[in-house]
Structure 1
Amino acid sequence: MRAYRSACEAIPAPDSRAASQCQALLDAKTKPRGSLGRLEELACRMAALRGEARPAMPSKAVLVMAADHGVVQEGVSAYPPEVTGQMVANFARGGAAINVLARQVGAWVTVVDMGVRFPVKSLTGVKVHRMGPGTDNFTKGPAMSRETAEEALDVGTRLAVDMAMTGVTLLGLGEMGIGNTTASSALTCALTGLSPEEATGRGTGVDEEGWRRKVQAVKRALEVNRPNPEDPLGVLAQLGGFEIAGLAGAALGAASRRVPVVLDGFISSVAGMVAARLCPQVKPYLLASHLSVEAGHTRVLQELEQRPLLDLGLRLGEGSGAAVAFGLVDTALCILHEMATFTSAGVIDTGR
């Protein structure tokens, strides 16, 4: 059986009893009931997903997957495809935003080449699982075969399971790939029914003419491929990217080991949506870090029934928003572990 399908079958339901016990522990702290708002909700959610009332402080990692997209031939990006490989090198050397943000919160960064068209040679610290030199141009046919989509899903699943087995208990998803906002917009249209105009944003910062080219590319992709939303694997193969498929698999693999998954922005959220369409049991394990300025992100989060933790106007990708949100998870669990109770502090508890 495929690794991602095995992971689907192994995903446990959230432990509601652990969440209730966690809330009881929080209610005993020296504060009015519920006064820490979403921090309390976050602590209880971590308890439910981890299956324990008082989950340990997390061991954090960000999985950044990179790949190129054939649709860049349509002039949809402000940057050339060479930038994907150059940024992978930047990640490997520790100089990108995600490296800085991950160091700030004590998270590891794992970088994976899923299909970079122009890879930088002799890099150390990059895992190579290339599905090819980028996807095909989906305005002329499928981005990849169904078989390739499943192989990419398997890669992500296995990597996430391996990370969980080495001690990772909180996984952020990041990506890099020139053209991947166009692919994500097309996937959003196919899976939610949103129009290309509504789902397509400016990505790396294209001008008005560039935005129109993106919209037209998405329209042509939908016309040529005629995706069926009842066949999420087919939609992924027709319109997705190697890194998007890999991240969808990673979400499934992490959830199968009770590891919560922190989504970054639009692209990783679309990967989460694909994972949820393939396996609805994964949905509770997906946490939205922030609200991207990308046009389709709000609709994707609605599909996932997610309320983002932050709204900072981010549109970088790389897992940057996930790394920032890690700090909130740490804060929520520190309250649980370190804050005094009414009894230990000798403070009167009015029960309110």
Structure 2
Amino acid sequence: MVTRPVLQRLGEWASATGCAGALGSDRDSGGRPELLVTAADHAVAAPVSGPLSPVSTLPWGHGSAEAARINDGESPLCSLAARQGVGVTVTEFPYSRESDAPPSSRVDEGREAADGVADAGTPLLLTGTLGTGATTTAAAVVGVLCNIEPVKVVGKGGGSRGITDEQWKHKTVAIRDLMFRARPYRRRPVDATAATEILDILGSPDLAFTAGLLAQSATRRTPVVLDGVSGLAAGLLADALTPGASRWWLLPDIPTEPGAAAAARRLSLQPVVDHPLGAPAAASGLVLLPLLDAAVTLTPQD
């Protein structure tokens, strides 16, 4: 099979979606690309005893800490984004054991955020997820929607070092338990109603927000760059909320999490790079952007 050159594929995607990359900041609309980050620590990763999470090497409270660094302009994401003319916004979902609102209610918040992005003339949206336990929840979503056994979607997590063997066991059990709760949705097509119910079962407000953001961005024809297995999990749900939404998305690479490749195939997304970029969470879109800009510049205009 002949693989088309990367710049050619990026240029074709940009033409099909009307994406102007960072070059969109030069348009009359005045819009610039935006990185929208969600930050949340997931209940599945909460410490049982002591300060350590049973499923992650990331410290409990990582989501809140990173949200504060972004808001204070101290995160490396802010520096990299500034050099490329990209705005950065973080939406934090503080951990709470009890909430009156179901997680799926955040879908509408995500849709509202997408409308705000589109109304501002934003030429390109980049997404990212930060938080302890995010890859555990994402793996469960991928396992359910792609009908994969729990042990085959367990990854090493989002920390700089892999989880221990003991954490791997805990993570496998956690994913298994989440998938068991959502078992009625395995081995069957998932529509918008089912996607909403899955979000409530798994209890992930940040995932719901991102799913709504992706679904509405497609409706508003805003091109989006996904990030990580969490972005792909949200994409699976968003494509159920708005069928065909995935044609507006770009996948920089295949993340190292085992379920990522299956999710990408389900969404018919071919990664720009066939190997993991190795970028930190929420950074893969920023790493890819110069290449996308080059493709936009070099692609012949009709």
Both structures adopt the same fold (TM-score exceeding 0.5): yes
Paired with 1:198 and 1:158, the residues of 2 have a C-alpha distance of 35
User: Unpaired segments of 5 or more residues in structure 2?
Assistant: 25-31, 49-53
Give 1:72 deviation, angstroms.
1.4
Aligned CA distance change for structure 1 residues 322 and 240 (closer, same or farther; 3 Å): farther
Share of identical aligned residues, percent?
27
Q: Which amino acid counterpart does residue 189 of structure 1 have in structure 2?
A: G
Paired with 2:293 and 2:219, the residues of 1 have a C-alpha distance of 22
Match of 1:25 in 2: none
Checking the alignment, whether the CA contact within 8 Å between 2:106 and 2:212 is kept in structure 1 is yes
1:189-338 matches, cutoff 5 A: 189-203=143-157, 204=159, 205-229=162-186, 230=190, 231-310=194-273, 311-314=275-278, 316-317=280-281, 319-336=282-299
Give 1:81 deviation, angstroms.
2.2
Paired with 1:214 and 1:199, the residues of 2 have a C-alpha distance of 10
| 270-279 or 181-190: bigger deviation | 270-279
> In the alignment, does 2:48 pair up with 1:64?
no
Give 1:97 deviation, angstroms.
3.1
1:310-331 CA distances to partner (integer Å, 9 max, x unpaired)? 33442632x2001111222211
User: Unpaired segments of 5 or more residues in structure 1?
Assistant: 1-34, 118-132, 137-143, 342-352
1:228-269 CA distances to partner (integer Å, 9 max, x unpaired)? 143222112212511111111111222222111100111111
Output the TM-score relative to the length of structure 1: 0.72
Aligned CA distance change for structure 1 residues 108 and 55 (closer, same or farther; 3 Å): closer
Q: 2:57 aligns with which of 75, 78, 93?
A: 78
Determine which structure has more spread, i.e. the larger CA radius of gyration: 1
Checking the alignment, whether the CA contact within 8 Å between 1:189 and 1:195 is kept in structure 2 is yes
Paired with 1:94 and 1:194, the residues of 2 have a C-alpha distance of 40
Match of 1:161 in 2: 115
Checking the alignment, whether the CA contact within 8 Å between 1:227 and 1:234 is kept in structure 2 is no
Aligned CA distance change for structure 1 residues 90 and 167 (closer, same or farther; 3 Å): same
Paired with 1:159 and 1:55, the residues of 2 have a C-alpha distance of 19
Checking the alignment, whether the CA contact within 8 Å between 1:190 and 1:235 is kept in structure 2 is no
Count of aligned positions = 278
Q: 1:42 aligns with which of 10, 32, 55?
A: 10
**Residue 129 of structure 2: SS of its match in structure 1?**
strand
**Residue 65 of structure 1: SS of its match in structure 2?**
strand
Match of 2:68 in 1: 89
Checking the alignment, whether the CA contact within 8 Å between 2:143 and 2:149 is kept in structure 1 is yes
Match of 2:134 in 1: 180
Paired with 2:6 and 2:17, the residues of 1 have a C-alpha distance of 16
Paired with 2:138 and 2:105, the residues of 1 have a C-alpha distance of 19
Aligned CA distance change for structure 1 residues 40 and 64 (closer, same or farther; 3 Å): same
Q: Which amino acid counterpart does residue 276 of structure 1 have in structure 2?
A: D
Aligned CA distance change for structure 1 residues 208 and 216 (closer, same or farther; 3 Å): same
Output the TM-score relative to the length of structure 2: 0.84
**Residue 175 of structure 1: SS of its match in structure 2?**
strand
Q: Which amino acid counterpart does residue 263 of structure 1 have in structure 2?
A: L
Checking the alignment, whether the CA contact within 8 Å between 1:199 and 1:295 is kept in structure 2 is yes
Checking the alignment, whether the CA contact within 8 Å between 1:225 and 1:238 is kept in structure 2 is yes
Aligned CA distance change for structure 1 residues 227 and 110 (closer, same or farther; 3 Å): farther
| 218-227 or 41-50: bigger deviation | 218-227
Q: Which amino acid counterpart does residue 45 of structure 2 have in structure 1?
A: V
Match of 1:7 in 2: none
1:60-139 matches, cutoff 5 A: 60-73=33-46, 75-113=54-92, 115-117=93-95, 133=96
Match of 1:32 in 2: none
Give 1:194 deviation, angstroms.
0.9
Report the RMSD for the aligned CA atoms in angstroms.
2.6
1:97-138 CA distances to partner (integer Å, 9 max, x unpaired)? 32233123221111111x223xxxxxxxxxxxxxxx26x7xx
**Residue 293 of structure 1: SS of its match in structure 2?**
coil
Give 1:62 deviation, angstroms.
0.6
